[in-house]
Structure formats: structure tokens, C-alpha cells
């Protein structure tokens, strides 16, 4: 079964750093892009960026460029989303997702369960 398993909920203080993860299983991890999507409380979906683990090609939304870092470790089939200094406005659910088509940026047909990040002093 193709799955994306995300790390658990986090509660952090402003200014702290954080890395959340997304582990792929049941498919060739290096052959599919992995994207990250933010959903702030009660709000819509926002496309953050996407990485191709095969060669670490990364594309960021301008809205998130410089605010987060996307990476992947293909040896353990895991993608990451990282913050160096969190703000209260980073409070949101974060989803990782895999496109339908191998090797292409495409519609997302496989989604992780989401990681809730809460930033509060």
C-alpha cells in the first residue's frame, strides 16, 4: 500500500526551530515528487513547495521561499520541512502529498495525515 506517514504534532515557542517529516512507503520514493501544503486554522490550502528526491530539485512558492526549507533523504525515503525561527503565524496543519504521475509534477493523489504545528509563547 502506498502511504505517506508524517511526524506527530508539535508545540513550539516563537523563535524556535523545527523540522517535520514525511516518510514514503510502498513505492519508489526517488521517482516521485513530494509536495508540502499548508492549511491555517479554518482556512484553505496553500501550496508551499515541492522536491524531487531523485536529484533534490526543489521548487518553492514565492510566498514561502526563504521562510522554510524543503529537503529529502532518499536513503530513508523521507522528506522534511524545516523552519529556523518559528512565528505564531506558522501555526497550521502541514500536509505532504505525492503526485499521481511518476517523475512529474501532477495532481496529488496520495496525502499524508497532516502534522499540526502550534507556535505559542
Partner 1 sequence: EIVLTQSPGTLSLSPGERATLSCRASQTVTSSYLAWYQQKPGQAPRLLIYGASSRATGIPDRFSGSGSGTDFTLTISRLEPEDFAVYYCQQYGSSPYTFGQGTKLEI
Contact in structure between 110 and 101 (CB atoms under 8 Å)? no
Closer residue to partner 1 in complex, CB, 15/58 = 58
Q: Which of 95, 115, 117, 119 binds partner 1 (CB under 8 A)?
A: 95
Q: What are phi and psi of 65, to 5 degrees?
A: -55, 130
Q: Under 8 Å CB-to-CB from 104, ≥6 apart: which residues?
A: 33
Determine if 108 is a binding residue for partner 1 (CB under 8 A): yes
Q: How far is the C-alpha of 113 from the C-alpha of 110, rounded, in Å?
A: 10
Under the binding rule (CB under 8 A), the answer on residue 106 touching partner 1 is: yes
- Shortest Cβ 40–partner 1 spacing (Å): 12
60 grid coordinates: 518553492
Among 25, 63, 84, 89, binds partner 1 (CB under 8 A): 63
Site residues, partner 1 (CB under 8 A): 35, 37, 44-47, 49-50, 59-63, 95, 97, 99-100, 105-109, 111-114
Amino acid at each position: 500500500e502506498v502511504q505517506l506517514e508524517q511526524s506527530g504534532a508539535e508545540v513550539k515557542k516563537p523563535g524556535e526551530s523545527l523540522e517535520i517529516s514525511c516518510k514514503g512507503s510502498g513505492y519508489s520514493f526517488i521517482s516521485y515528487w513530494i509536495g508540502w501544503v499548508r492549511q491555517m486554522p479554518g482556512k484553505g490550502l496553500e501550496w508551499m513547495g515541492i522536491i524531487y528526491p531523485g536529484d533534490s530539485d526543489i521548487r518553492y512558492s514565492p510566498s514561502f521561499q526563504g521562510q522554510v526549507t524543503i529537503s529529502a533523504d532518499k536513503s530513508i525515503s523521507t522528506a522534511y520541512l524545516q523552519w529556523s525561527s518559528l512565528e505564531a503565524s506558522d501555526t497550521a496543519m502541514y500536509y505532504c502529498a505525492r503526485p499521481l504521475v511518476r517523475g512529474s509534477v501532477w495532481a496529488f493523489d496520495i496525502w499524508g495525515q497532516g502534522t499540526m504545528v502550534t507556535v505559542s509563547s
